[in-house]
A and B are shown apart, each in its own frame.
Chain A
Amino acid sequence: GENVEQHPSTLSVQEGDSAVIKCTYSDSASNYFPWYKQELGKRPQLIIDIRSNVGEKKDQRIAVTLNKTAKHFSLHITETQPEDSAVYFCAASGYSSASKIIFGSGTRLSIRP
């Protein structure tokens, strides 16, 4: 079945530096790739998403890139700030007609002051 692998599981970066989280997916038919952020004790919330008809999307300090040939996509956070500390989940749509998505196992990002 559909599988999404996410690396690294934990990441610690100095405030102001960049952070990169990488994911790979198995189903070549996947066409939707969202990223969710979950702060401690809170619900996951969408921060950015990309569809398979584009290779890159940017929103202020965050960007996502997609390589369909290699079946991987990445989240880039630049100029990291303390409020970026959270668990980040990537996901991929396994069956677009049913809107079901498969989540990666998550990356705990810590920003060092």
Chain B
Amino acid sequence: DVKVTQSSRYLVKRTGEKVFLECVQDMDHENMFWYRQDPGLGLRLIYFSYDVKMKEKGDIPEGYSVSREKKERFSLILESASTNQTSMYLCASSFQASGMSNTQYFGPGTRLTVL
């Protein structure tokens, strides 16, 4: 079974703090993704990575950065947290096949509250 884990289920931070969310997958997947989930807005892609040290912006990258130093680990960084970044953050990973999309496996999510 694919296992995707996230470092925290719940996190409370203050405005202006630097926040790290970590995601680890154990299936040797090339692709990793960070989404935020807000009611009525579905899953919006923040950043994704298709290889170590590679990253691409998703639909809402502003205010976020990412790091992928190892294949199994993908970190989401909020350089200076703001209240509008209060949300559920979901990490996902998928196997990369040439020219084809594949099943994404999600982590349990981190509910971040910024006060």
Residues of chain A having any CB pair with chain B under 8 Å: 1, 6, 9, 31-32, 34, 42-46, 49, 51, 89, 93, 96-106
Contact = CB atoms under 8 A, between A and B. Distances in A.
Interface string B73-115: 0000000000000000010001010111111101111000000
B90 A99 contact: no
B42 A32 contact: no
Contacts of A46: 103-104
Interface residues of B, number: 28
A1 B59 CA distance: 9
A30 to B, nearest CB: 9
B106 A44 contact: yes
B99 A100 contact: no
Contacts of B101: 31-32, 34, 93, 96, 99-101
For the complex of A and B, the 6 pairs showing the least CB-CB separation, nearest first, are A93-B101, A105-B42, A32-B101, A43-B106, A103-B43, A103-B42
Contact of A44 (B40, B43, B102): B43
Contact of B42 (A31, A89, A96, A100): A89
A22 to B, nearest CB: 15
Among A6, A99, A106, max chain B CB count under 10 A is at: A99
